[in-house]
Amino acid sequence: MEKIIFDTDIGVDDAFALAYAAKSCDILGITCVFGNVAVEQAVRNARLFSHKIGLDVPVYRGSSRPLAHLPTPSAWDVHGADGLGGVFDNPWSGAAENAIDFIIQSVRDNPDALTIVAIGPLTNIAVAINQAPDIIPQIKRLVVMGGAFGSHGHSGNVTPFAEFNIWKDPHAADQVLSSAIPVVMLPLDVTLEVTVSGDDIRSLNHPVLSTISQGYLAYSKQHGVEGMALHDTLTIAYLNHPEWFGVTTSPVRVVTDRINRGQTLRQLNSPATRDDPFAGCRPQSLCLTVEAEHVKAHFMAALRQ
Ligand code: BDR
Ligand code: CA
């Protein structure tokens, strides 16, 4: 089983991903970050959801705001007032030990053996590699849900140019994606291609997933979309079955400001320009196509109770 740290701003699709990871990965710890919800709420959600699915792993508290931009509102419209559909009482505390220290120590303890799965803004990862650059060559790989490169017309979900996780903290994303860490990106190009309907979710006989996803499904319907994109779960699907993804390699940079804040840019050719924004950036693995039916079937089989 893949040994992972699960870095999340836990909302509804993050919770689906955690349930899937609990079945198929060795989770060392859950590190929380602001994003869909405030970081304290993410800690509370991670604890509540883990408890509900019988997962016993430590939960850590990370960054509460972006590196440079002012904080932007939580995604309560999509994920509900508390990020988990607003359906459960949550008795858990938002206080926890430091996520950055945990990431740094875990990588040092598991050189070349630890995968970080990051499904929220990349702030915790940026802070960790800035604080301890020695861990960069020791991270086996970082698997990210984030970004958009325009395949199948998928170029953004917050703005026409930007995907939510990258838009939330574009400076962190630019630092991480242009670093020497081997990154696998699951952008909107693939995550919007794999959806589940209300009937699909009901057929899992998983009361917790059914309950938390009602609001998300209603939000999608209001916006003319039937069903729910599995977004964050595709990171776990990639770890289980990388052969179901079509991967392109290219260096990646992120636009940090102005109207296309959060846009992910890849190198399309290598013209001899005077100034190369990709100079020194490692080619990253970008998943641009997916065998959606295989991914969905594997996810459904893993979660069915
Ligand atoms: C991403 O945004 C968040 O709302 C989801 O949890 C996912 O990580 C999709 O753009
Ligand atoms: Ca997320």
Q: What angle is formed at CA 86 by the lines to CA 80 and CA 90, rounded to 5 degrees?
A: 135
The architecture in CATH of the region 2-304 reads Alpha-Beta Complex (3.90)
Torsional sign, CA 114, 115, 118, 122:
positive
Instruction: For residue 289, give the H/E element and its range.
Output: strand 284-290
pTM above 0.95, yes or no: yes
What are the phi and psi torsion angles at 85 (to 5°)?
Answer: 85, -5
Q: Which residues line ligand 1 (CB under 6 A)?
A: 11, 13-14, 36, 75, 78, 119, 145, 157, 163-165, 231-232
Which bin fits 238, alpha (ψ -120 to 50), beta or left (φ > 0)? alpha
- Per the CB < 8 A criterion, the answer to whether 216 and 196 are in contact is no
Distance CA 122, CA 141 (A): 14
DSSP 161-226: S--HHHHHSHHHHHHHHTSSS-EEEE-HHHHTT-EE-HHHHHTTT-HHHHHHHHHHHHHHHHTT--
Report which bound ligand comes closest to the CA of 146.
Answer: 1
User: What pLDDT tens digit does each residue of the chain (305 aa) get?
Assistant: 999 999 999 999 999 999 999 999 999 999 999 999 999 999 999 999 999 999 999 999 999 999 999 999 998 888 899 999 999 999 999 999 999 999 999 999 999 999 999 999 999 999 999 999 999 999 999 999 999 999 999 999 999 999 999 999 999 999 999 999 999 999 999 999 999 999 999 999 999 999 999 999 999 999 888 899 999 999 999 999 999 999 999 999 999 999 999 999 999 877 667 889 999 999 999 999 999 999 999 999 999 98
Residue nearest to atom 2 of ligand 1 (CA): 164
The predicted structure's pLDDT at residue 271: 67
Q: How far is the CA of 231 from the centre of ligand 1 (A)?
A: 6
Helix 39-53 / helix 12-24 crossing angle, nearest 10 deg: 50
User: Which atom of ligand 1 is least distant from the CA of 145?
Assistant: 8
Distance CA 104, CA 202 (A): 39
Sequence spans of domains, the chain: 2-304
